[in-house]
Amino acid sequence: MPVQNADKKNIMLIETHVQVADIPEEGLFLNFEELAGLIGDLDEFSSVSHASGRLELHKSGAEVQISGWVRGKMNLSCDRCLASFAFPVDASFFYLLKPSKEFHREIEPDHEVTGDEIHVYWYEDGLIRAEELFREQILLQLPMRVLCREDCRGLCAGCGADLNREECRCQEVVNHGPFSALAGLKTIQN
Ligand SMILES: [Zn+2]
Ligand SMILES: [Zn+2]
């Protein structure tokens, strides 16, 4: 079955759990399409769409080295104007995973990120949950302050106008003076 042989190192996966025991000597190379469905919504203000990724896993004793990338789009809501917009994600990463027992003995119990952005983590029950690595990498890409654009003018606190698209109406009301409301009322009654 030549096709199967050719695809051996580039298996398309829906399932994202990798058994450490299944990683062969020469490494395991996995491509992921449609990660959005696997990762789900990250929080109420963002979701992932059209994300794909790749993992290259190499075993060295009980440790697993993983390099990979994730690319896609996040749907975010602007902190200032609340408009939703697409935010591109493109991250390359490197993980060193140790079995949980060894990890907790050697290193601080918390997830440690070294200066070189190598993420040292642990795995449990001989299982690597790929979607968690992708999810973390996507979250790391989230800006501290989510803005649809650098100079977003936001919503007016007074009238609620989207100042990117329309004029603030607060000043109008003041200019028309105390009778403007009455004038408006009349029009409506007619
Ligand atoms: Zn905005
Ligand atoms: Zn206003």
Q: Are 69 and 52 in contact (CB under 8 A)?
A: no
CA of 165 to the centre of ligand 2 (A): 12
CA of 45 to the centre of ligand 2 (A): 25
CA of 162 to the centre of ligand 1 (A): 9
Angle at 63 between CA 62 and CA 65, to 5 degrees: 145
CA of 157 to the centre of ligand 2 (A): 6
CA of 86 to the centre of ligand 2 (A): 27
pTM of the complete model: 0.70
CA of 83 to the centre of ligand 1 (A): 6
CA of 128 to the centre of ligand 2 (A): 52
CA of 39 to the centre of ligand 2 (A): 39
Alpha carbon distance 137, 92 (integer Å): 8
pLDDT attached to residue 1: 31
CA of 144 to the centre of ligand 2 (A): 27
pLDDT attached to residue 46: 75
Task: Give the residue carrying structure tokens 């990338």.
Answer: 69
Alpha carbon distance 29, 93 (integer Å): 15
CA of 156 to the centre of ligand 2 (A): 5
Alpha carbon distance 63, 55 (integer Å): 15
Task: Show the tokens assigned to 163.
Answer: 């100042």
pLDDT attached to residue 102: 72
CA of 80 to the centre of ligand 2 (A): 14
pLDDT per residue of the chain (190 residues) written in tens, 0 to 9: 333 333 444 444 446 789 999 999 999 999 988 777 666 666 666 788 888 999 999 999 999 999 999 999 888 899 999 999 999 999 999 999 999 877 666 655 555 555 556 788 889 889 998 888 998 898 888 888 899 999 999 999 999 999 999 999 997 655 555 555 555 454 444 4
Q: Which ligand has the shortest distance to the CA of 160?
A: 2
Q: Which ligand has the shortest distance to the CA of 161?
A: 2
pLDDT attached to residue 107: 56
